[in-house]
Structure 1
């Protein structure tokens, strides 16, 4: 009797596992069942990934600590070695270095002109840092909307199929049409949320670099006002 109970339990467990395996749907199957609207959502996801990686590489390169560079430039300027200071800036590929290079090249001009020159270079560098961030923000808003549009069109097709069905409508037909239509909304929300988080993270990183740029430019202007500096 005990052996028969064990055998029956094993059979039920095997049958349950087999049924679960048959009913399970892979991620690829769900994606394919989402319809044509999954194509623009997929394109938007690729755009978001590309922009995030490309911006991260630029931001990481630009976020180098400027304190060491500023100390070396300060020492060279105070010693009157303007050429070496400018050469040092040109050899450092960061927004702060390019701002300082413009300022060093204007040494001897009125202080206001130097400040304006540094500010103009800073505006260009900020534009380069923020490049494509607006596009990433657009992806974060557009992806859920495209997903919702896919759901609406999918629901319309599902109800058309139900209307064309003769006799009683099976629950399987109704449920399959609805869940396939909802796939695009889920995909659009996933892409939109990830793009939104990536956008806010990049904006925060750019804000940190802008703060460093402003602080360094003020420090450089203060340096030029020191009486020991060489004009």
Structure 2
């Protein structure tokens, strides 16, 4: 590997940095976007069952908020009812929407950086190819002779950087698309959970207001 890096020349170092960053972001997102941390399968049913009887107390809502991303969204609606017992449907929906925006922003963390790496890696590889071609043409001596070692080095720089750029960009793009699809799926699940909890909270708000 070290000999390949030497043959690829100095343009390979930005590509190596991109590869390390891309791998770090991919691992971080794989751990952070697990379903258990975002939308636990039984959480919504438990919250609906609990809210059907009575509105939970502040301590229970606080634990729910710290449980998961879905818990944060559902707890936002509950806290709004606890703070404002006569809250109407419009303000309650707004509370859910605000919490949902924060949750989606958290889910999309680092995705723009991963997408940028997927876009920039082929360009960096192309830059290395251009550098290699410059060295290749520079191997031509004024007298018409050539320097075989310099020609070989120029070809190595051109080909290795192109290959490294594509090798980084392809998996980065695939994982970026995968994470975007997962975030969209989680967003839909959070919206549906808020819609299911909304009528129960409105009923509890009406009962508390009365």
Tell whether the structures are fold-level matches, with TM greater than 0.5: yes
* Distance change >3 Å, CA 139–CA 91, structure 1 → 2: closer
How many Å separate the matches in 2 of 1:34 and 1:179?
6
Q: CA deviation at 1:72?
A: 1.9
The structure whose Rg is larger is: 1
- On the 8 A contact 2:122/2:166 being kept in 1, the answer is yes
After superposition, the C-alpha distances for 1:26-83 in whole angstroms (9 at most, x for unaligned) are x4322221111110000001111111111121111533334x2222222222222421
2:135 aligned to which of 157, 161, 165: 157
- Within a 5 Å distance, the mapping from 1:55-204 to structure 2 comes to 55-60=29-34, 61-66=36-41, 68-83=42-57, 85-92=60-67, 94-107=68-81, 108=85, 109-163=87-141, 168-169=145-146, 174-204=151-181
User: How many matched pairs?
Assistant: 202
Q: CA deviation at 1:205?
A: 1.2
- After superposing on structure 2, the runs of 4+ consecutive aligned residues of structure 1 that deviate more than 6 Å are none
Deviates more, 1:216-225 or 1:198-207: 216-225
- On the 8 A contact 1:143/1:188 being kept in 2, the answer is yes
Q: Which residue of 2 aligns with 1:217?
A: 194
- On the 8 A contact 1:118/1:217 being kept in 2, the answer is yes
TM-score, normalised to structure 1, is 0.78
In structure 1, the gaps of 5 or more residues are 1-26
- On the 8 A contact 1:76/1:85 being kept in 2, the answer is no
How many Å separate the matches in 2 of 1:42 and 1:227?
57
How many Å separate the matches in 2 of 1:156 and 1:87?
63
TM-score, normalised to structure 2, is 0.85
After superposition, the C-alpha distances for 1:175-224 in whole angstroms (9 at most, x for unaligned) are 55323321111101110111111101111111111111011011111333
